[in-house]
Amino acid sequence: MTERTHVHAFGDDALGDLDATGVAAAIASGDISAREAAQAAIARAELVNPALNALALRDFDRALEAADTPAAGAFSGVPTFIKDNTDLYGLPTGHGSQAVQPTAKRKTEPFAEQYLSTGMTMLGKTTLPEFGFNATTEYQSLPPTRNPWNTGFSSGASSGGSAAFVAAGVVPIAHANDGGGSIRIPAAACGLVGLKLTRGREVQSLQGKQMPVDIISNGAVTRTVRDTAAFVAALEKFRPAPKLKPVGEVAGPSSRRLKIGLITDSIAGDPTDADTAATVLHTAELLTSLGHDVVDFAVPTDHTFVRDFVHYWALMAFSTQYFGKVVTGDPFDRSKTDALTKGLARNFIRKPWLTPLSIRGLKRSEIRYREAFENLDVVLSPVLGHTTPELGFLSPAAGFDVMFPRLVNYVSFTPLNNAAGGPAISLPLGRTTNGLPIGVHFSAAHGDERTLLELAFELEAAQPFARIQDQHATGPA
């Protein structure tokens, strides 16, 4: 039996225990310099990456040079990482796949420009599973990215490297994106705040522009609600959303009491496990004690949604498998994709005629989602169908026929927000019996990130989030 422990990099350096807002304030006041913050983050990355394997690409020399003259913004000089499915000028984009032969990009893609307009110092790129298709950052034949709370477990995905580094204290904020839960899932696995924005809130991704239903949302994972709120406000300063009411500066909870719909089980199949269900029910009790009205609620869709989303997932894999050079812009060897990509692509080839039906179904989900919020302010549910699994459970090395049914049940709650375009946030409000974080999921009406952030501030104050640096090492895994 292999001993697995928690891993973190918090210490007595320029970053200390500060969140991104705190680091930005320390830099602005002159208590530390942006270079000192970058140097501390680099040292922390080098310290814990051998255990976590969250670093896809180092850009440390350029980062230190940039830190000497940090860009203006809400997070001026705060060190960060970008996920390795996002193009940055002069750097390759690997997409987590051995099938891609990455070359230096000639442009920074639009959302990356919006992200870096906050003034952050970019240190490099973080890991993701192949093309972001999985909900764990594991590979066919390479070492996985590990969860810092217990390195025998998954860090979630697809933004698993970013979540591992933020949870471990390497940086206080890192880029994440979400096509079916990939901000919220790793946030739940690693004990972080993960907000998926309303479709159209941020600059549209390059991939999303080409999709019949844009399910891609870009954002960040953080350790505090105030960092997520400040990040959203900073994005709006770069480019206000043209068709949405501004979120504005959210600095704390609201006095408004909400009507909240409670969901405990998904439509995918297996019932929610005991630890996750208990956390959601405890959160419902906490909300009631705070004066909110919590009522039972049914998922605003049915089993056809699972069919439609799985087929759309397969369509994306098919497009990547057979048109990889076009999708990535790099030389591509489809023989080197993993079992999940190949299996999804095969599933699409078997039923291509389902495509128009699934697209119509996903578009119809937006209508049903909007109707759900005619009489509710927020929906409360699990983030995931069960607690964070051990490494190997969702690995493509297990084979498609073994891991894919597991994957569908695991990610059963988050994809609806991607298809419908509504906002949702994961908050770390529970712990498993073996000490791993459990995330709780809150959804709101289109454009109503403010309500989610105000509620998140209230819950963070009522039940402060667990900190990895306060925990004892875990036992054997």
Contacts of 50 (CB under 8 A, 6+ apart): none
Helix axes 34-52, 60-67, angle to 10 degrees: 160
What is the sign of the dihedral through the CA atoms of 335, 402, 214 and 130?
A: negative
Q: Are 296 and 260 in contact (CB under 8 A)?
A: no
Residue 303 phi, psi dihedral angles, 5° rounding = -65, -25
**Ordered DSSP codes for 95-153:** TT-TTB----BSS--HHHHHHHTT-PEEEEEE--SGGG-SSS---SSSPPPEETTEEEE
Q: Are 437 and 190 in contact (CB under 8 A)?
A: yes
Q: What angle do CA 46, 48, 51 make, to 5 degrees?
A: 120
158 is catalytic: yes
Of 97, 117, 155, 158, the catalytic one is 158
CA distance 370 to 236: 23
SS3 string, 37-62, reads: HHHHHHHHHHHHHHHHCCEEEECHHH
Tell me which residue of 235, 178, 167, 232 sits closest to 205, measured CA to CA.
178
Residue 288 phi, psi dihedral angles, 5° rounding = -65, -40
Of 97, 154, 182, 266, the catalytic one is 182
Tell me which residue of 267, 309, 263, 277 sits closest to 386, measured CA to CA.
277
End-to-end CA separation in angstroms for the chain:
7
Q: Are 187 and 156 in contact (CB under 8 A)?
A: yes
Residue 90 in tokens: 């002069």
Q: Are 353 and 412 in contact (CB under 8 A)?
A: no
Contacts of 146 (CB under 8 A, 6+ apart): 7, 51, 52, 53, 152, 153, 155, 164, 391
Q: Are 79 and 319 in contact (CB under 8 A)?
A: no
State the DSSP code for 71. Answer: P
**Helix runs in 353-395, H state only:** 355-372
254 is catalytic: no
Residue 158 phi, psi dihedral angles, 5° rounding = -85, -10
Of 83, 105, 125, 196, the catalytic one is 83
Tell me which residue of 471, 266, 221 sits closest to 386, measured CA to CA.
266
29 is catalytic: no
Residues designated as active site: 83, 158, 182
